[in-house]
A and B are shown apart, each in its own frame.
Chain A
Amino acid sequence: MGVAWVAVGSALGGMARYSLSGFVANRIGETFPWGTFVVNVSGAFVIGLFAALVAPGGVLPGDATVRQFAIVGLCGGYTTFSSFSLQTLNLARDGEWGRVFGNIAASVACCICAVWAGIALGAFMFGG
């Protein structure tokens, strides 16, 4: 069942997010939500790769399992908008408006670029 693939992928993605964002936060500190940023940008890159894989011209066009496991599950569970929202709110509550707009602009810009890069690399590798 497709839902099972989503569940497993999302579980793995969530654990990876917790692990990596925690590692980054421990390294760099929590004055800026670098952990969530790194997770979301890397997740955007990976979803681009998989999107190319299952694109009409890719090697696994329309593959439902890859969609459910990797795109909806893994990437969806790995990346997060709620943490981004909460951390942006907390920055605002601390009066850190520079970081508020920096987090918003950097997250959106870098994630879109990351998707583009992932699709480009994926198209090269998988012909999608």
Chain B
Amino acid sequence: MARPGISKLPPMNLLVTYLVIALGSALGGVARYGCGLLAVALWGVTFPWGTLIINIVGSFVIGGFATLTAPDGRVYVGTLGRQFVMVGLCGGYTTFSSFSLETFGLLQRQPLAGAAYIALSLVLCLLAVWVGHALARKVNE
């Protein structure tokens, strides 16, 4: 996403940008934590359904929001708003590290489940981001 070089932002804008991202990321992280706990309560720990759903939802949201608030989009939100949602909320909500750790563990214990987790994550997240984008494009028209 386009943004001015960090070195070119005035100090106050830079500080506000970081605060906004910190807030969004904190909220996203807490939401991820809650969703993760819920998923374990519902489905146990044999398969990382929580992370899978989290990453799918986050991909859908960023796909839709990016297109909706793009320069030619229907909704104007401004740079800070986009940073808050895309870098902060979606970035904090989704995770590649947990995905990686869980995949590693699964590949060792149940290689087929591990392969399925990788495939499902990639296919469904990329599908989700595209669906979000496509829906937003429809709204923009």
Contact = CB atoms under 8 A, between A and B. Distances in A.
Interface in A47-64: 47-48, 51
Interface residues of A, number: 52
Interface SS majority for chain A: helix
A84 B27 CA distance: 20
Q: How large is the interface on B (under 10, 10 to 19, 20 to 34, 35 or more residues)?
A: 35 or more
B95 A81 contact: yes
B96 A84 contact: yes
A83 B21 CA distance: 14
Interface of B: 3, 5-6, 17-18, 21-30, 32-33, 36, 55, 58-59, 61-63, 66, 83, 86-88, 90-101, 103-104, 107, 118, 121-122, 125-126, 128-130, 133
Given A2-B33, A11-B23, A108-B122, 15 more contacts: A11-B22, A13-B92, A14-B25, A14-B29, A68-B33, A72-B98, A76-B95, A77-B29, A80-B90, A81-B59, A83-B91, A83-B94, A86-B86, A89-B126, A115-B103
